[in-house]
Amino acid sequence: MLLTYEKGRADKIHISIDGTYTMTVDATYWYGLGIKNKTEINEEELAQLKSRVNSRRAFNKAIELISRREHSRKEIVTKLTQRGFAEVAEDVADELERLDYLDDERFAGMYAKELKQRKSMGKRRIAQELYLKGISRDIIEIVTEEINESPVEEIIEIINRKYLRYLGDEKGRTRTVNALVRLGYGYSDIKNALNTVSDEVDNLSDMDYD
């Protein structure tokens, strides 16, 4: 079989076998292989080349994903699998970890901080979200222990910001409690926060403005 190639747009190299287009790879990688144009190859060599090119394409796709934001290992493996790189996804993830492009503990720390700051989640919910991202229980424990949390104060702040208008009736209070539980806060802390907010509202109502 005769292997030929030609330069495409940007840094792409298009490879053909016996005149039929077969695959595309980036120029830097291709020229590094040292394969000359119009080279005779056999079936075994072609299979090996396809495997190497597929791994390279998967690696490039992973780098593209990571350049947008940090990912967990599980996320990268899942996305590569969905894009047709199932056979090499785990190997690519290993290489990314070796190069320090992937680090589950680093990702977990950043993601936990985002969930706390942007979504006001408590430790319990943060731990659940990290687990869904494929983070190990050991790393989850390390990361959540580093979160400084004052649950009652945080719940009060959330109530004042989002749920205060719902506390006038039992249905509204139940809705508020359920929302706070979904954010990962415990019932006792929620109860204490609600009592504090209720007392503050009552005190304001009792003030004499005359």
Question: Which pLDDT tens digits describe the chain residue by residue (210 residues)?
Answer: 999 999 988 889 999 999 999 988 889 889 988 889 989 999 999 999 988 889 999 999 999 999 999 999 999 999 999 999 999 999 999 999 999 999 999 999 999 999 999 999 999 999 999 999 999 999 999 999 988 878 899 999 999 988 888 888 889 899 999 999 999 999 999 999 998 887 665 543 443 433
| Residues constituting the chain | 210
What is the count of structural domains for the chain?
A: 4
Looking at the fold, whether 136 and 171 belong to one and the same domain comes out as no
Helix (H) / strand (E) containing 46: helix 43-68
What DSSP designation does 134 have? T
The pLDDT, as a whole number, for residue 18 is 92
Domain range enclosing 137: 104-145
Looking at the fold, whether 169 and 135 belong to one and the same domain comes out as no
**Residue 39, Cβ neighbours under 10 Å: how many?**
12
The reported pTM is 0.77
CA 36 to CA 56: how far, in whole Å? 19
Helix (H) / strand (E) containing 104: helix 104-119
Q: How far lies 7's CA from each of 10, 39, 137, in Å? A: 9, 16, 48
User: 145, 171, 197: which is the final residue of a domain?
Assistant: 145
